[in-house]
Each structure stands twice: as C-alpha cells, then as structure tokens.
Amino acid sequence: MPFERLRDFINIVMNQIHMVRDTLRTTTVSFSTVAVSDKYAALEKLGKLKEQGILTEEEFEKEKKKILNQG
C-alpha cells in the first residue's frame, strides 16, 4: 500500500515535469533582445531550469549559446 502511494506520487510529479517541458518546447522564447546587462539574469534562469530537470543538457546549451552570441 505505501509503495503504491509513492508510485502514484512519483507518476504525478513526472507528469507535471513533462507538461512543463512540453510547454517550454512549444513556447517560442527569444533572447535576441536581451540587453548585455540582462544576459547574466537570463543565464541564471536558464541554469535553474536545467538544475530542476526541466531542460536537458542539450536544450540548456542551445539556449545558452543564443544568449552569449548576442550583442
């Protein structure tokens, strides 16, 4: 019984993670207008998304390059 509840909880959490990831993939995020002073903040937010498991390493690197190549 306790394992079933844990399994159900994990499934709920995983579904939420997938929903957020899908939302991020379908939302066009453009960092092209980020000012130089905002690059640090954008990179920090991006790092947090990666730490939370919302972004994969590949997604993180792709967006990081976009931010750093501006200007």
Of the given ranges (24-28, 45-49, 52-56, 66-70), which has the lowest mean pLDDT? 24-28
Taking residues 7-32, report their average pLDDT.
74
Q: Which residues contact 1 (CB under 8 A, 6 or more apart)?
A: none
* Count helices and strands in the chain by DSSP H and E runs: 3, 0
Taking residues 32-57, report their average pLDDT.
82
pLDDT for position 1: 67
Residue 27, domain extent = 2-68
Residue 57 has pLDDT above 60, yes or no: yes
Overall number of domains in the chain:
1
* Closest by CA position to 66, among listed 35, 32, 42, 38: 32
pLDDT for position 21: 79
Tokens representing 26?
Answer: 């379908």
